[in-house]
A and B are shown apart, each in its own frame.
Chain A
Amino acid sequence: MKIEVRLFATFRNGRGKKVVVEMNNPTVTEVLQSIEITDEDVAILLVNGQDGRFDQVLVEGDYLSIFPPVGGG
């Protein structure tokens, strides 16, 4: 199955805005590992636009949005 990972801020450096990872029912941590991002690097983790967990097992159609520590307005 394909999991879309939307990347923002410095996560885009060398990776672009979006990567698609092909894995079977991975956890969020496993998806991140595959693109060389650790859980500790991530300040905001969204699964389908809602707060996600790193141990969450992903299913077909899920997408991730991840942000490093960023800011306020």
Chain B
Amino acid sequence: MYGYHGKILRINLKTQEVKVDALDLEIAKKFIGGRGLGTKFMMDEVDPKVDALSPENKLMVVTGPLTGTATPTGGRYMVVTKSPLTGTIASSNSGGFFGAELKFCGYDMIILEDKSEEPVYLNIVDDQVEFKSATHLWGKLVGEVTDELQAEHGKKAKVMTIGPAGENLSLLAAIMNEKDRAAGRSGVGAVMGSKNLKAIVVKGSKKVGIHDADALKAVFKDSVKKIRENGVTGEGLPTYGTAVLVNIINENGVYPVKNFQGAYDPDADKISGESLKEQFLIRKNPCYRCPIACGRWCEVDGKEMAGPEYETLWAFGSDCGITDLKEVVLANDWCNELGLDTISAGTTLAAAMELRELDLVKAEEIDGQPLEFGNVNAIVEWTKKMAYREGFGDKLALGSYRLTEMYGRPDLSMSVKKQELPAYDPRGIQGQGLQYATSNRGGCHVRGYLISPEILGLPEKIDKNALEGKAFWAKAFQDLTASIDSAGLCLFTSFALGADDYAALINAVCGTDHTGDTIFEAGERIWNIEKMFNLESGVAPSEDKLPRRLLEDEIPDGPSKGMVNQLDKLLPEYYELRGWTKGGIPTDERLEQLGLK
């Protein structure tokens, strides 16, 4: 068997029954793995209308056929479940080393069912699956839990765990592995917490079968060469990490400030990748088999910790009116320790600060540091309270949409489908706005990173303000990304690799006959099944929208002054390209063509 082990580990957390199901390889190839395969199983096994935090929801940890193989970045895995934040399908991707180690245990995926009566963790060593009490770990921070479990099960063991945020069912909770890599978005950590599952420890010894080792060697060499020779993956990301974007996005005037009230921060350089490198960076922090190594490792006041990504620098920085780099690095570390999604945590604080600015939240409600734009002392304190749900933190734990709705102003939540938008203002980047609005997991940049052509000029430069062609680009990027996410590779490879390269990698490992076209087609199939899950869960096509501010209020200053997003002009063309109805619903004909009927 090549690429896949053909085994699904099915674990019932209530009865502690453990089964190994055979993976239908035809289905696996159709949905590739990871995100696609997980969504297919969610669709088949879980009622999309289920309460995401009930035992009836399932949590799937899914590798791709390239996870654990000698492919560049081949160590990714996906957490797929129903999101408690958005009500949509959730599929959160993570790097590090956990995914590859899980694959070495001999499984393609784990399906976690029902709910344990007491806090537990799972210790998986190849064929052995052991339930262990997690009572002594409950309440502990991610770093401490990881250290304790590695002390008990060995340094080679890889640990995936939730922090207090997941235990306390914060809708912004992430699942962490290797302490600082996160399946970050859509509240997947709360689903794990709702099942009383604190952690999964894996240690394996089984190699992944390779169809054609010589072909793989050749295609590996070729793809690594492309990655090394590409300016972004060969030099920019290794030198500065994703944080280099602070200045790029700011100089374009599409860098959201104070909950998207502005789009240019004259002080942004203070929290840029350049400043991070100069002040705190001590080394790179790469994931499994990654030739890019964008991860950062920093030292602050003698303590070493993972460094922040671009989105985090922005969310806790300029979006909160803050340019104190040290405090933002510390907030990032606390998110890792508490198991929180940095994007949603930071931007929910920003939304709270705007509610406070408008005096909709009264000063007396704030039982701690003033939640005011620019208050550097607020971000770490309120991040902790958000995770522990203390005082006003209990409201913050629900995310910006539910928070602003409580105060009668859901329009102040800069979110799509209740998930907070990341660090690119779509008023000055038209295609990215369309991508945000149509994203199947709500506000997200990595479902189709149109920043690549619209700002960075990869694979070619397109006018960020133009409308023409944007529907095509959005669909193409969404479909290709779905396949990359499903294969088990990092999306960042796509700065240097194209669909043909992914086809070659998958074919060498699995013995399939993919072409660039079938990679796009598989991605489109995955996109459509995600959409069907969302429709059946009750998330209407009318949710393919942007916050009112981004459609109506012109950017007030900076290089993109005067711009708004023109989503209504792009959506009809996008739906048409997808072969969906004018109302944004996949047609039977299209679903049939994609083999989904």
A27 at the interface (CB under 8 A from B): no
Main secondary structure of the interface of B (DSSP, over half): helix
Q: How far is the CB of A57 from chain B (nearest CB, A)?
A: 19
How far, in whole Å, are A2 and B154 apart by their CA atoms in the complex?
Answer: 63
Q: Determine if B105 is an interface residue (Cβ-Cβ < 8 Å).
A: no
* Contact A73–B231 (Cβ < 8 Å): no
Whether B461 contacts A51 by the Cβ 8 Å rule is yes
Note all chain B residues with C-beta closer than 8 A to A9.
236, 239-240, 244, 247, 273-274
Given contacts A6-B251, A8-B248, A72-B242, is CB(A49)–CB(B464) below 8 Å?
no
* Residue contact A8 to B274, C-beta cutoff 8 Å: yes
Question: For B31, what are the chain A residues with a Cβ–Cβ distance below 8 Å?
Answer: none
Quick one: which of B233, B252, B264, B423 contacts A73, CB cutoff 8 A?
B423
CB A23 to nearest CB in B, in angstroms, measures: 21
Kindly state whether residue A10 has any CB partner on chain B within 8 Å: yes
- B456–A70 touching, CB < 8 Å: yes
Residue among A12, A50, A51, A72 making CB contact with B232, cutoff 8 Å:
A72
Q: Given the complex, which residues of B lie within 8 Å of A12, measured CB to CB?
A: 274
In chain A, positions 32-73 with a C-beta closer than 8 Å to chain B are 43-44, 46, 48-51, 65, 67-73
CA distance in complex: A51, B252 (Å): 8
Cα separation A49 to B455 with both chains bound (whole Å): 11
Selected contact of B236 from candidates A50, A65, A70, CB within 8 Å:
A70
Interface residues of B in 199-258 (CB under 8 A from A): 230-233, 235-237, 239-242, 244-245, 247-248, 251-253
B274 pairs with A71, CB closer than 8 A: no
In the assembled complex, which residues on chain A have CB atoms less than 8 Å from the CB atom of B457?
Answer: 43-44
List chain A residues, Cβ under 8 A from B464.
Answer: 51
Name A67's closest neighbour in chain B (CB-CB).
B248
A65 touches B452 (CB 8 A): no
| CB of A15 within 8 Å of the partner chain | no
B260-303 interface code vs A (CB 8 A; 1 in, 0 out): 00001000010011100000000000000000001000000000
The verdict on A50 contacting B449 (CB below 8 Å), with A9-B236, A43-B456, A70-B231 known, is: no
Q: Is B310 an interface residue (CB 8 A)?
A: yes
Closest to B461 in A: A51
Contact at B558–A49, with CB atoms within 8 Å? yes
Size of the B side of the interface (Cβ < 8 Å), in residues, is 45
- Which residues on B sit within 8 Å (CB–CB) of A73? 242, 245, 309-311, 422-423, 445, 451
Complexed CA–CA distance, A67 and B232 (Å): 11
Against A, the Cβ 8 Å flags (1 = close, 0 = not) of B310-325 are: 1100000000000000
Closest A residue to B452 by beta carbon equals A72
Q: Are A71 and B237 in contact (CB under 8 A)?
A: yes
In the complex, the answer to whether B232 meets A70 with C-beta atoms within 8 Å is yes
Contact call A71/B455, Cβ cutoff below 8 A:
no
What residue in chain B is nearest A48 (Cβ atoms)?
Answer: B559
In the complex, B495 has a CB within 8 A of chain A: yes
Q: How far is the CA of A51 from the CA of B560 in the complex (A)?
A: 11
Contact A72 B251 (CB under 8 A): no
The distance in angstroms between the C-alpha atoms of A70 and B294, with both chains bound, is 11
Q: Which of B242, B445, B465 contacts A71 (CB 8 A)?
A: B242
Complex Cα distance A37/B570, Å?
38
Determine which of B232, B245, B560 lies in contact with A49 in the assembled complex, contact meaning CB atoms within 8 Å: B560
Beta-carbon contact of A70 and B240 below 8 Å? yes
- Give complex CA distance A49, B563 in Å: 13
What 1/0 flags go to B451-484 for Cβ under 8 Å of A?
Answer: 1100111000101110000000000000000000
A51 to B460, CA, bound (A): 13
Quick check: A68 and B231 within 8 Å, CB to CB? yes
Q: Kindly identify which residue among B235, B273, B456, B495 contacts A44, using a CB–CB cutoff of 8 Å.
A: B456
- Chain A residues in 8 Å Cβ range of B236: 9, 68-71
Q: Which residues of A contact B422 (CB under 8 A)?
A: 73
Contacts of A72 in B (CB 8 A): 232, 237, 242, 245, 449, 451-452, 456, 492, 495
Q: Which residues of A contact B272 (CB under 8 A)?
A: 8
Q: In the assembly, what is the distance between CA of A54 and CA of B484, in Å?
A: 35
> How far does the alpha carbon of A43 sit from the alpha carbon of B253 in the complex, in Å?
18
Q: Separation in Å of the B504 CB from the closest CB of chain A?
A: 23
- CB distance B231 to A17 under 8 Å? no
CB <8 Å contact, A69 and B463: no
| Residues of chain A contacted by B251 (CB below 8 angstroms) | 6, 8, 46, 49, 65, 67
7 A–B pairs (Cβ distance < 8 Å), ordered by A:
A9-B274, A51-B461, A70-B232, A70-B248, A71-B232, A71-B294, A72-B245
- Beyond A9-B273, A51-B464, A68-B235, list 17 extra A-B contacts (CB 8 Å): A9-B240, A9-B247, A10-B235, A17-B269, A43-B457, A49-B264, A68-B236, A69-B231, A70-B231, A70-B235, A70-B240, A71-B240, A71-B294, A72-B451, A72-B495, A73-B310, A73-B311
Binding site for B on A (CB under 8 A): 6, 8-10, 12, 17, 43-44, 46, 48-51, 65, 67-73
